[in-house]
Amino acid sequence: MAIRTPRRAGLSLIELLVVIAIIAVLIALTIPAVQRVRAAADRAACANNMKQLGLALHGHHTVKGQFPQGTMNDSLPWGPKRVTWAVWLYPYLEQGNAFKHFDINQAPYWNAVWYNNANSKGANAPTATRVPSFLCPADRDGIVVRRVTYPDYGYHGDFIAANYLAFFGGLNYGGAMPGVLQPGQRGVFGLNYGARLADVTDGTSHTLALGEYLRALPNYEFDFRGSIWSDQPGYSQLYTQNTPNTSSPDLFYWDWLAVYANHRPDLNRPASRSVPGSTDTAASRSMHWGGVNVLFCDGSVRFVHNTIDVKTWRALGTMAGGETAQGDF
């Protein structure tokens, strides 16, 4: 008598296609959830960075009696030395060694003591020191350290780029100049100026100190956005002329030698030419959906939406304007 061997069941083509479709749907459902978790983690890590910077600012205020000067410049706008606020926070960000090796008495090159000398040359130079608290994890496209080498001028140094810049008073670089800046438009940082907390009469919880910005892209040699050693808009300075993540281009100084920013609106980096030293300005920008993290003078970090009213935004940028910041942030 013949013994029948049971045939092994297999999937038909239709069943296989159904299984594949189910797997595809599950993947499609999972990816957005993973992206949302990642985005939330990036935003939380960014806020924590800003809290560390807030502690550093208050540490400086405790020791020195005021916030660091936004820019220390012997002769504005292009005088020698030209040292920014960020340098003075290094001792409070566990970067005491880099600060110790920064020599403010170096001979200025192109009116900067941090350029083309021992302060900037080499991987261990102060300007090249990576400071984790200055880097937002959401800005994955931006550079961390820029090496500057001009074909006709040689190697000038390595410079860290940062995602957190200081809000200056006025709406642009020209408007922030001493003698031009109106008292009611002053921010806590300025040209040769750093405020005391007692000067913030609008309230420390309603006055901006630092905001997010996007670093330069690696494939553009002469884009210096986020270069906090330099005392220019978009490098170490922010302004409230435009609301966060605006489509309006940031305005940069372009000269015969270099283009100092590249127009990439697809990566939230729109840029255009300024009237040099006058209309230069940069708006707060981030890769977080819908807005930016900002640090207030009381050390708190809040998320400000792109839809904030421009009058409210500008009111938050001044420390003694007498305005009332109305509406949601």
User: Is the per-residue pLDDT at 249 higher than 90?
Assistant: yes
Find the DSSP H helices in the chain: 13-64, 96-101, 310-317
Measured CA to CA, the distance from residue 165 to residue 162 in angstroms comes to 8
Both tokens of 119, joined, read 């302060």
Nearest alpha carbon to residue 228 among 43, 47, 53:
53
> How many Å from the N-terminal Cα to the C-terminal Cα in the chain?
86
Measured CA to CA, the distance from residue 133 to residue 231 in angstroms comes to 20
Whether the CB-CB separation of 247 and 264 falls below 8 Å is answered with no
Higher pLDDT, 31 or 276: 276
- 7-16, 125-134, 150-159, range with the lowest pLDDT: 7-16
**CA-only gyration radius of the chain, Å:** 24
Cα distances (Å, whole numbers) of residue 234 to 199, 212, 251: 26, 10, 9
pTM for the whole thing? Answer: 0.88
User: Is the per-residue pLDDT at 288 higher than 90?
Assistant: yes
Measured CA to CA, the distance from residue 33 to residue 39 in angstroms comes to 10
Cα distances (Å, whole numbers) of residue 108 to 98, 105, 206, 234, 236: 19, 8, 38, 22, 19
Measured CA to CA, the distance from residue 315 to residue 207 in angstroms comes to 8
- Most confident range (mean pLDDT) of 16-25, 150-159, 266-275 is 266-275
User: Is the per-residue pLDDT at 328 higher than 60?
Assistant: no
Both tokens of 140, joined, read 């994955």
The pLDDT-based confidence of 283 (bands split at 50, 70, 90) is very high
Kindly state the DSSP code that residue 3 receives in the 8-state scheme: P
Measured CA to CA, the distance from residue 14 to residue 197 in angstroms comes to 71
Residues 11-29 pLDDT 10s: 677 766 777 777 777 777 7
Instruction: Write down the domain spans for the chain.
Output: 36-317
Higher pLDDT, 127 or 111: 127
User: Is the per-residue pLDDT at 171 higher than 90?
Assistant: yes
Higher pLDDT, 107 or 18: 107
Mean pLDDT of 115-139: 94
- 44-58, 69-83, 133-147, range with the lowest pLDDT: 69-83
User: Is the per-residue pLDDT at 183 higher than 80?
Assistant: yes
Q: Is 145 helix (H, G, I), strand (E, B) or coil?
A: strand
pLDDT at 313: 96
Nearest alpha carbon to residue 210 among 81, 40, 39, 85:
85
The pLDDT-based confidence of 321 (bands split at 50, 70, 90) is confident
Q: Is 244 helix (H, G, I), strand (E, B) or coil?
A: coil
Q: Is 113 helix (H, G, I), strand (E, B) or coil?
A: coil
Give, in degrees to the nearest 5, the angle at Cα 72 between 66 and 74: 135
Higher pLDDT, 150 or 243: 243
Query: Is the peptide bond between 77 and the residue preceding it cis, with omega within 30 degrees of 0?
Result: yes
Q: What percent of the chain has pLDDT over 90?
A: 63
User: Is the per-residue pLDDT at 257 higher than 60?
Assistant: no
Mean pLDDT of 265-281: 91
pLDDT at 327: 53
Whether the CB-CB separation of 102 and 81 falls below 8 Å is answered with no
Measured CA to CA, the distance from residue 83 to residue 10 in angstroms comes to 73
